[in-house]
Structure 1
Amino acid sequence: MADPSSYRPGEIPDSPGVYRFRDEHRRVIYVGKAKSLRQRLASYFQDIAGLHPRTATMVTTAASVEWTVVSTEVEALQLEYSWIKEYDPRFNVKYRDDKSYPSLAVTLNEEYPRVQVMRGPKKKGVRYFGPYGHAWAIRETVDLMLRVFPVRTCSAGVFKRSAQIGRPCLLGYIGKCSAPCVGRISPEDHRELAEEFCDFMAGRTGTYLSRLEKEMQAAAEEMEYEKAARLRDDIGALRRAMEKNAVVLADATDADLIAVAEDELEAAVQIFHVRGGRVRGQRGWVTDKVEAVDTAGLVEHALQQLYGEESGESVPKEVLVPVVPDDAAALGQWLAQRRGSQVSLRVPQRGDKKSLMETVHRNAQQSLALHKTKRAADLTTRSRALEEIAEALELDGAPLRIECFDISHLQGDDVVASMVVFEDGLARKSEYRRFQVKGRVGDTQVWHGEGQDDVRSMHEVVSRRFRRYLQEKLKTGEWAPEDGEPGGPEDDGRPKRFAYPPQLVVVDGGQPQVAAAKRALDELGIDDIAVCGLAKRLEEVWLPGEDDPVVLPRTSEGLYLLQRVRDEAHRFAIQYQRSKRGKRLKAGPLDEVPGLGESRRLALVKHFGSVKKLRQATIDQICEVPGIGRKTAETVAAALARAVPAGPAVNTATGEIIEDEAPAPAGTPSDRGTEQ
């Protein structure tokens, strides 16, 4: 591991440029660009503790840095893309297709252009349309189009053989190929036919259909009914081909829509290609976040990869993105150079384009979820993940049962916790549990508001869970399932209780939460269950009593499994917390206020954070909420003053008390939120 100060350069020019970090073997490990090389490179050589962990890893892996000065930011963008393609640096974000997407290709670089399905990198002189989700979708479209545009589709071998024997293939006999192999059409006419095919596929459909309709009407007037019928069938075939692509925007719209879904370690990009108002293609990429990059940076990398080797009409008039990159002006100039005319790079704000962008974003989220599911479903991968966790945490064996705890609240109110269970690396939802945090001191229940903190809550929840485990283990009979709670055996004979201990307890948090969970186990005399915590910000694994975290490699399957367990616990806690909040809003004292609708009730609670704080507010403070007049504020204050908690089981500030530990309902939806 190198010390960055050992290779820190002296005089750095204050001009645009591109820089390369190299390791001790002179391999390029990172390429970047900057408006000011001096300012950008200086940011890498500050105190390592102040750098993002991924950036710190890069600068300590590097052994030297060099740069090239350019004239403009556009030149820097072009050179950066070229160097990334040339050196393939390990610390640069590199997108990989989440599947192999086929495209419809027209080989305009040949004497007799050919229509075919192509995959892989694009070739110079070939016109591409798509990509499509399936190859059969291309073949169906081409089959309809060949009736009107009988362009060559055969391979070079078939074409050469037909020319030698002087007899075309079957498509030539049935009218779906103009048979240039036997000279039925000249090279110039065949090329014109291929260009018309490309124009139609590019979205210029209205003019061509209008021309065919006029020719059909003229043939009918001249009583050339066979010709008119053939033209009618041609028009029908073209319309059927067009119907395969849904109309999503105005007819003249040519745009690419790019959306990003991401988490701490990975990101998924989805692109919709809209031509002539219709979705002509879709593709997706996924990437590991190997460098410290935000959404704007991911968008910039996606634009470089998408258009780096494109030119002309492959670059649309509009590129719609979720976030405008920092170098938007330079990117706009770069795109304009590749297209040959102005390109609009912007974020859609309203209307059909914003709605379509939301659809693209949903596709990106589903793509990321599917990528993670495929990765988690592999038995070999799961086994390796459990082995890596055991090795990193120095466990005696692989943790076949992992339980993860997370705390969720809204500004101190409605404090709840979740427990999720993973066995053999897979979620076991029938054994999930939900906790309402009460804040027990001995046998006394103390109601907490915003003073309740995550550490005390974690200690309470872990204590309650393993106290039940000891009761089951000792068969004391002190605990039995409440009415309505499943307590009998499952199909495999295992009871749905707390009878089975995990090999590993994971908590969502860092040192304080881990210490609280370990203290809870020690107080109960449990010493055969390992504890660790996973901190969200840096994805570091914390162990009890350790001052430094365990840092698993970014590509570690063990880290991925721990992250997935933590995220599932967070999702389940958020769902429970939201349901409690909803009950509080629906069954609280505000419902008794005449003339106060749901929107204004929600506005009041959102403004003050809780009903408890609203009760403490003055009439003037209540009037500050938009839509609340003085008369309404007085009515609200009077209603809250009359409301008195009914007893220890119900609290108006926190909502109705339900069962402390309840099993997860079947078919729990995934609705992750941002609350703590």
Structure 2
Amino acid sequence: MADPSSYRPAPGQIPDSPGVYRFRDEHRRVIYVGKAKSLRQRLANYFQDLAGLHPRTATMVTTAASVEWTVVSTEVEALQLEYSWIKEYDPRFNVKYRDDKSYPSLAVTMNEEYPRVQVMRGPKKKGVRYFGPYGHAWAIRETVDLMLRVFPVRTCSAGVFKRSAQIGRPCLLGYIGKCSAPCVGRVTPEEHRELAEDFCDFMAGRTGAYLSRLEKQMHDAAEEMEYEKAARLRDDIGALRRAMEKNALVFTDATDADLIAVAEDELEAAVQIFHVRGGRVRGQRGWVTDKVEAVDTAGLVEHALQQLYGEESGEAVPKEVLVPALPEDAPALGEWLAGRRGSNVSLRIPQRGDKKALMETVHRNAQQSLALHKTKRASDLTTRSRALEEISEALGLDGAPLRIECFDISHLQGDDVVASMVVFEDGLARKSEYRRFQIKSFEGQDDVRSMHEVVSRRFRRYLQEKLKTGEWSPEDGDEGENPGENPLAEDDGRPRRFAYPPQLVVVDGGQPQVAAAKRALDELGIDDVAVCGLAKRLEEVWLPGEDDPVVLPRTSEGLYLLQRVRDEAHRFAIQYQRNKRGKRLKAGPLDEVPGLGESRRQALVKHFGSVKKLRQATIDQICEVPGIGRKTAETVAAALARSVPAGPAVNTATGEIIEDETPPPRVGAPPGGSRGTSSERGTEQ
């Protein structure tokens, strides 16, 4: 590990001008490439105290052994040079997009004498018109099959075309009318090229004029009693409309835009792009990237733009590029895109209307792509086994933690404090074992005390379950006194709720939460359960009594599993806390009646139809409800008499308005906003 001060340039040596810099390791391999408006200011950020750097940046500067730079005249030149060097050197600490070159596009080879329509993958070629990319090759073939009825452009390979020309007989497509057969001279090269240009115009979105022309020809043919021609034109129009229906209509105008959305976590990010041409979604593509360097959403957008348009032909760059966040060098990027397109390009964030709505759709696709990537990764048995082994080695456990329990605390500014416990066995979620807790021993916001309480309650129940079978004790083993009898089972054979201990307890938090969980176990005399914490900000693993965290490698499957366990506990806690808060906000006057449970509240509301009618009922009438005695009826009547209706009657069982007595009050977030604490914020799945 190198000391950055050993290769730090001397003061005044770095120029204060735009440029591109490269960090090299001891073997002279380029490990990072970056650009800057001011090389002096940017490089100075790398040579500060390591404690102030992001962990990934600190790893990079300690891996490097030298730094060098190249001065350019403008930011656009710096952007172009950075992109070319990243492609050339493939630095290990730059963001790498695992771009799937398998995404197919519909291509028309306008650079050939007889243009050909085909499915193409990989790098774009000069002189070829591309449409897409599409999600599947079969989607392209279905579209082409419909279009060839109207635009019988050549689709055969060079070998088939040459052979048909030699024998003077077209292929099958020529006989069935789905190829104009230029190979045997049915059309001239000029006529065939005109067909290909019409095909491209239609695919590019200029559909209205062409359909109008065909409809006019159809009506003219019908008036001249050329009914066969009119029927053929009618079928052509129908085929074109079906081809158009395969692309979703987005905008009423002929909008040309690419929409880019990003879904990310601490370790990975998913990028999704929708290509809109002529107001319709013509294609979609996406990829997943490892966040090797410390990069935010704006930085991911910048890298995505370079990846998307770095090797594209100018015609592939649209008039508008809509993004979730503007990169730091947005003007330079806009100028770079304009240079590749040959005209101005609008790079902006959509604020309202249809484009913002479509951007939300693209973002949902990115979230689903990231979730699918994580699911596929978690479902692999070999990967799960490796993850458990890595956790065992990193935490110094005696064996792989086959059962992991994770705890998280959630509250809203100290109110409705709840906790969640999720269980993973063999690296997979065991949702039937999930548990949730209400924290009632104190008031206010104190995650540490809450964590101590919930861990104590969970393992106190574990000890109680172990002793609930009479004479059985932990020293007697799992069989109990009577062989074949499972002491961890209920009378009906089902396992007790807290009977099985985990090998590892994970808490959402850092040193304070870990210390609280460990203290709870020590107080109960449990010393065979390991404890660790996962701090969300830097994804550091904390162990009890340690001053420094355990930093697992970014590509570690063990870190990924711990992160997934923590995120699931976070989701489960938030869901419970929000449900609890929602019930509190919807509480009606019946909720304040002591001793009146949920079932009898539902029975009362169902019998009378509304709280308003229940309030008007006599005690004898209330006693007619099954399960309601006279004493309970008197209590209900007294509670309703004290309550003053302040809004619509509410079905406390469903939360629905039963009868609108007065204009409903605004029900929203409680005073102070709904942002909540760090333990509540996050994405709810």
Return the TM-score normalized by structure 1. 0.83
For residues 532 and 391 of structure 2, what CA distance do their matches in structure 1 show?
10
Q: 1:482 to 1:213 in 2, by over 3 A?
A: farther
Cα displacement (A) at 1:224:
3.4
Aligned counterpart, 2:153 = 151
Q: CA deviation at 1:253?
A: 1.0
Instruction: Compare 512-521 and 609-618 and name the one that shifted more.
Output: 609-618
Give 1:191 deviation, angstroms: 2.1
Distance 1:249 1:597 in 2: 53
CA separation in 1, counterparts of 2:267 and 2:604? 38
- Partner of 1:544, secondary structure, is coil
Mean Cα deviation higher: 268-277 or 113-122:
113-122
Conserved in 1, the CA contact under 8 Å of 2:117 and 2:155? yes
Note the alpha carbon deviations across 1:102-125, whole angstroms, 9 max, x for none: 211112222222111122332332
Partner residue, 1:483? 476
Out of 113-122 and 600-609, give the one that drifted further: 600-609
- TM-superposed deviation, 1:18: 1.0
**Cα deviation 1:73-93 (Å, max 9, x = unaligned):** 111111111111111111111
Distance 1:220 1:610, change over 3 A: closer
User: Which shifted more, 629-638 or 176-185?
Assistant: 629-638
The C-alpha deviation readout for 1:554-573, integer Å capped at 9, x for no partner, is 00000000000000001111
Contact 1:541 1:549 in 2 (8 A): yes
Distance 1:278 1:407, change over 3 A: same
The superposition leaves residues 399-450 of structure 1 with CA deviations (integer Å, 9 ceiling, x where unpaired) of: 1100000111111111111000000000000000001112xxxxxxxxxxx6
Are the counterparts in 1 of residues 408 and 679 from structure 2 also a CA contact under 8 Å? Answer: no
Distance across 1 between alignment mates of 2:651 and 2:202:
67
Partner SS, residue 292 of structure 1: coil
1:590 positional shift:
14
Query: 2: CA distance between counterparts of 1:663 and 1:469?
Result: 51
1:568-615 Cα offsets, whole Å, 9 max, x none, are 001111111111111221227999999999999999999999999999
Inter-partner Cα distance in structure 1 for 2:614 and 2:68: 60
Call closer, same or farther: CA 1:553–1:69 in 2, change over 3 Å: same
1:132-188 per-residue CA deviation (whole Å, 9 max, x = no partner) reads 122111111000101111111111222222222221110011111111222222323
Counterpart Cα distance in 2 of 1:530 and 1:662: 57
Root-mean-square deviation (Å): 9.9
Deviations 1:352-399 (A, max 9, x none): 111111111111111110110000011111111111111111111111
Contact 2:571 2:684 in 1 (8 A): no
When residues 234 and 674 of structure 1 are mapped into structure 2, their CA distance, relative to the original with a 3 A threshold, is closer
- Residues 592 and 203 of structure 1: CA distance in aligned 2, closer, same or farther (over 3 Å): farther
Q: How has the CA–CA distance of structure 1 residues 362 and 226 changed in structure 2, closer, same or farther, with 3 Å as cutoff?
A: same
1:481 positional shift: 21
Residue 16 of structure 1, CA deviation:
0.9
Separation (CA, whole Å) in 1 of partners of 2:621 and 2:141 = 67
User: Does 1:176 find its partner at 2:178?
Assistant: yes
**CA distance in structure 2 between the partners assigned to 1:571 and 1:403 by the alignment:** 14
1:450-502 alpha-carbon deviations (Å, 9 max, x no partner): 64411111111111101111111122679999999999xx9996515100011
TM-superposed deviation, 1:521: 0.8
Q: How far 1:524 sits from its partner (Å)?
A: 0.9
Measured after TM superposition, the shift of residue 629 of structure 1 is 43
Between 632-641 and 249-258, the greater mean CA deviation after superposition: 632-641
Contact 1:20 1:66 (8 Å CA) reproduced: yes
Change (3 A) 1:401 1:491: farther
Kindly state the Cα deviation for residue 273 of structure 1 after the two structures are TM-superposed: 0.9
Shift of 1:201: 0.6
Please tell me whether the aligned partners of residues 467 and 473 of structure 2 are also in contact (alpha carbons under 8 angstroms): no
Larger deviation, residues 154-163 vs 318-327: 154-163
Larger CA deviation: 232-241 vs 429-438: 232-241
Distance of 1:481 and 1:670 partners within structure 2: 36
Which has the higher mean CA deviation after the structures are superposed, 310-319 or 140-149? 310-319
Compared with structure 1, are the counterparts of its residues 122 and 649 closer, same or farther at alpha carbon in structure 2 (3 Å cutoff)? closer
**1:283 corresponds to which residue?**
285
Unpaired segments ≥5 residues, structure 1: 439-449
Q: Is the 8 A contact 1:328 1:345 kept in 2?
A: yes
Displacement of 1:536 after TM fit?
0.3
Deviation at 1:626, TM superposition (A): 45
**Compared CA separation, residues 193 and 486, structure 1 to 2 (3 A):** farther
CA distance in 2, matches of 1:193, 1:505: 68
Secondary structure at the counterpart of residue 506 of structure 1: strand
Q: Any conservation in 1 of the 2:106–2:117 contact (CA below 8 Å)?
A: yes
Give, in whole Å, the separation in 1 of the partners of 2:359 and 2:623: 38
Indicate how the Cα distance of structure 1 residues 637 and 547 shifts in structure 2: closer, same or farther if over 3 A, else same.
farther
Residue 455 (str. 1) matches residue 448 (str. 2): yes
Equivalent residues of 1:147, 1:234 under 8 A apart: yes
Task: Provide the rounded CA distance (Å) in 2 between the counterparts of 1:394 and 1:659.
Answer: 62
The residue correspondences of 1:423-462 to structure 2 (distance < 5 A) are 423-438=425-440, 451-462=444-455
SS at structure 2 position matched to 1:531: strand
Query: Are 1:581 and 1:655, in contact at CA under 8 Å, matched by a contact in 2?
Result: no
Residues 195 and 386 of structure 1, relative CA distance in 2, 3 Å threshold: same
2:498 partner SS: coil
| Identical aligned residues as a percent | 94
Q: Pick closer, same or farther for the CA change 1:542–1:252 going to 2, 3 Å.
A: same
Change over 3 Å in CA distance of 1:460–1:138 after alignment to 2: same
Could you tell me how far apart the structure 1 residues matched to 2:624 and 2:347 are? 40
Tell me if structure 2 keeps the 8 A contact 1:471–1:477: no
Residue pair 2:170, 2:184 contacting (<8 A) in 1 also: yes
Q: Using the alignment, how far apart are the partners of 1:326 and 1:605 within structure 2?
A: 59
Change (3 A) 1:71 1:663: same
Gaps of 5+ in 2: 485-489, 666-675
Maintained 8 Å contact 2:146/2:239: yes
Q: Match of 2:656?
A: 656
Write the distance in 2 (CA, Å) between the matches of 1:368 and 1:34.
31
CA contact (8 A) 1:486 1:496 kept: no
3-state DSSP of counterpart to 1:167: coil
CA distance in 2, matches of 1:616, 1:330: 72
Displacement of 1:527 after TM fit? Answer: 0.9
Of 76-85 and 205-214, deviating more is: 205-214
Q: Residue 517 of structure 1 aligns with which residue?
A: 517
The CA deviation at 1:514 is 0.9
Partner SS, residue 476 of structure 2: coil
Q: Contact 2:299/2:327 (CA < 8 Å) preserved in 1?
A: yes
SS for the counterpart of 1:260 is strand
Could you tell me how far 1:620 is from its partner in structure 2?
45
Distance in 2 (CA, whole Å) between partners of 1:126 and 1:201 is 14
The 10-residue stretch of structure 1 (45-54 or 150-159) with the greater mean CA deviation from structure 2: 150-159
Counterpart of 1:590 in 2: which secondary structure? helix
Q: Is the 8 A contact 2:404 2:504 kept in 1?
A: yes
SS in 2 for 1:662: coil
Provide the residue aligned with 1:238 in structure 2: 240
Matched, 1:577 2:577: yes
Q: Mean Cα displacement is larger for which, 331-340 or 653-662?
A: 653-662
Distance in 2 (alpha carbons) for counterparts of 1:295 and 1:511? 29
Task: Deviation per CA, 1:270-310: give whole Å up to 9, x if none.
Answer: 11111111111111111111111111111111111111112
Aligned to 2:110: 108
1:629 to 1:419, Cα distance in 2 relative to 1, 3 A: closer
C-alpha displacement of 1:656: 19
Q: Which moved more, 1:641-650 or 1:584-593?
A: 641-650
For residues 199 and 611 of structure 1, the distance between their equivalents in structure 2, rounded to whole angstroms, comes to 65
Task: Return the alpha-carbon distance in structure 2 between the equivalents of residues 6 and 119 of structure 1.
Answer: 47
* Aligned match for 2:25, one of 14, 23, 26: 23
Q: How many residues are treated as equivalent by the alignment? A: 662
- Change beyond 3 A, Cα 1:658–1:46: farther
With 338-347 and 478-487 compared, the bigger mean Cα shift is at: 478-487
Question: Could you tell me whether the CA contact under 8 Å between 1:431 and 1:664 is conserved in 2?
Answer: no
Determine if contact 1:254/1:317 at 8 Å carries over to the other structure.
yes
SS of corresponding position for 2:448: helix
Out of 316-325 and 502-511, give the one that drifted further.
316-325
Contact 2:411 2:677 in 1 (8 A): no
Q: SS at the partner of 2:527?
A: coil
Is the CA contact 1:248–1:279 (under 8 Å) kept in the aligned structure 2?
yes
Contact 1:430 1:496 in 2 (8 A): no
